[in-house]
Structures are given as C-alpha cells and as structure tokens.
Structure 1
Amino acid sequence: MKRLLAPLWRAIRGPLQWRVLWLAHAKFMVGVTGIVRDDAGRVLVLRHRMWPAERQWGLPTGYAAKGEDFAQTVVREVKEETGLDVKPGRLVHLRSGYQLRVEVAYEAQLVGDAPLTIDSFEVLEARWFTPETLPEKMQDSHRQLITGSTPA
C-alpha cells in the first residue's frame, strides 16, 4: 500500500498536498496570553466579564486570528482590551494536549504613555499589581505565569 501511495503523493505536489494534509489533521484554536509589565515591574491584570466569578482576574488573553503571528496577538489583544501599547517579548509558555486548543504565553513590555481605557464589554476592571499583591480571585495558571512557576 505504501508503495502505491508514495508515487501518488509525489504527483499531487503543492496546494493539493496541503489541502489533503489540512483535511487529515487536527484543527486548533490558539489561546494567547500576555504577561505585561511596566517599568516598575508591575503586572497588568484584568477582571474579565466573561470568566467565572470565583476566578475573574487574569492576564490579557485572547485567540489568535487566522494567519496572525502569536506575539502580535498579544499586542492586538492588549490594545483592544485596555488601549495600551506593548512590545512583545519572549515566549514563556506553550501547552498542547487539549482537544481543540493550544495555549501560548508571551512576556510583553508596556510602551508609550497611552491612558488605560478598558473595553467594558470584555473587561470589568484593569489594574497594575506587583507579583506579591495579586488579587485573590485570580486564575492559578496566570498567577504561575507571573511568578515564573510552571502552569499545570
């Protein structure tokens, strides 16, 4: 069987090969989180409207758009949710194994002096915290990203 498939595979090079691969493999949404710090080392934490009440506080988070660079997803999401401009840094977390999503997290640095203006549809509140003063009702995985321990 493999001897028959190999010549056929070579014969359909290009876009048709990619289409077959796309149909045959898993599709994922990519959740992207930003660990945004200011010059004082404080971290931007949001109280998300759509999250469960017992853990509404978390980092700026969203899903990558089709074809979007994941580091640029952080830039876009922070801008949309808070009006702030950030410069993406290094990738600090990558996790797969979920049924329909992959999670990534990047460090990001606040740039400029734009005022904090929250998107009230998604965000109830946005505040700067030191790693030692994070809110109680915060996502554990986001707390771990901030403190540098490995999220579960």
Structure 2
Amino acid sequence: MAGRGNVWLGAAGLVVSKNGEWLVVKKKYGGLKGVWSLPAGFVNEGETVDEAAVREVREETGVCCTVKGMVGLRTGVIRSEISDNMVIFLMEPEENNSITIQETELSEAKYMLPEELIREEKASVMLQYLLNLKESSVKPAINGVDPGSHFQYIAYKLFL
C-alpha cells in the first residue's frame, strides 16, 4: 500500500445477512480496539472505493460480498492535520460464507442482530447511527457511465 499522507480514504462494509444480522468486528488496535465496528480499511491504488470495501470485508472476515449501494460518508479531521474519510457501503454476503477472522487485525467477528447491537456497551458511534438507516437512503451504483475517453478511466461508477 502506498503512503497515505495527510488525506486518508477508507471503505467500510455494512454486511447484512438474509435474516437481518450485521457482520461486526472487534479490532486489536487503534481507537476501535475492543469495540464492535464494521470491517473497514484503506483504499489501495488502482481500486474504486466499493472494490476496497469488498476486499477489506473479505480480508478481515473471509466473507465474500456483493455491494448493494452506498450508505454514506464519514469525514473528519484528526489533530488539525489529517483529513480522514470513509465511504460506507451496504453489502450482501454470498451464500455459504463462514467467518474466518484475520487474526493479526481482529480479536472477534460475528453476525449480530441490530437489536443486539443496541444493547452493546462497546459499539462504535457510527454503528449506533447506522441503526437508524432507512433502506430508501441507500444509493445504488450506476455502472456503464462514460465520462469521455480523454479522462482515461478504467473504472467509473456513480452512487447517486
């Protein structure tokens, strides 16, 4: 992964199973250590943000997913110097996906019903806000858009 500098771009996956359970993880490090949060990580060079979300969920939990749409954006500034941005995607797990945690990063990963997460003392602030998510607020991908060959995009999607 290339250096991030002072502008960070991350991707997170809100993975919802067929029975409505959310895939949540507990990191072993950082500000979310020991707190239920979404699988997430930084966008790598040469990938779209939604591709990064799919990759991060797979790397951290072993769960392969399909992106259903964009849920929102989390943006902030750390210590007046780092622009920290994360795009959150609603995702659906593929059939017969068991969880295999990335032990270097995670202490735990499991599916939980939103009602269970409400009662959890150790749930991230973002998860608490996502509990109020309305399906109508999910923005599906618009594929096949051509902004013009002069831009030389190899991938181009809109989430509107």
TM range (shorter): 0.7 to 0.9
Per the alignment, do residues 48 and 96 of structure 1 end up closer, same or farther by CA in structure 2, a change over 3 Å counting?
Answer: closer
Distance in 1 (CA, whole Å) between partners of 2:51 and 2:131 is 20
Structure 2 counterpart of 1:89, from 68, 79, 82: 68
Letter in 2 for 1:56: V
Letter in 2 for 1:125: E
TM-score scaled to structure 2, two decimals? 0.69
* Gap runs ≥5 in structure 2: 135-160
Aligned with 1:72: secondary structure?
helix
Say yes or no: does 1:126 pair with 2:105. Answer: no
Per the alignment, do residues 97 and 81 of structure 1 end up closer, same or farther by CA in structure 2, a change over 3 Å counting?
Answer: closer
Structure 1 segments (4+ residues) deviating >3 Å: 51-55
TM-score scaled to structure 1, two decimals? 0.73
Letter in 2 for 1:138: A
Offset, 1:67: 2.6
Offset, 1:52: 4.1
Per the alignment, do residues 58 and 65 of structure 1 end up closer, same or farther by CA in structure 2, a change over 3 Å counting?
Answer: same
Structure 2 counterparts to residues 1-152 of structure 1, below 5 A? 28-52=7-31, 56-98=35-77, 99-134=82-117, 135-148=120-133
| Equivalent residue number for residue 144 of structure 2 | none
Per the alignment, do residues 146 and 77 of structure 1 end up closer, same or farther by CA in structure 2, a change over 3 Å counting?
Answer: farther
Percent identity for Structure 1 against Structure 2: 29
Q: Which entry has the higher C-alpha Rg, 1 or 2?
A: 1
Deviates more, 1:95-104 or 1:56-65: 95-104
Distance in 2 (CA, whole Å) between partners of 1:147 and 1:43 is 13
Is the 2:15–2:22 contact (alpha carbons within 8 Å) kept by the matching residues of 1?
Answer: yes
Distance in 2 (CA, whole Å) between partners of 1:62 and 1:43 is 18
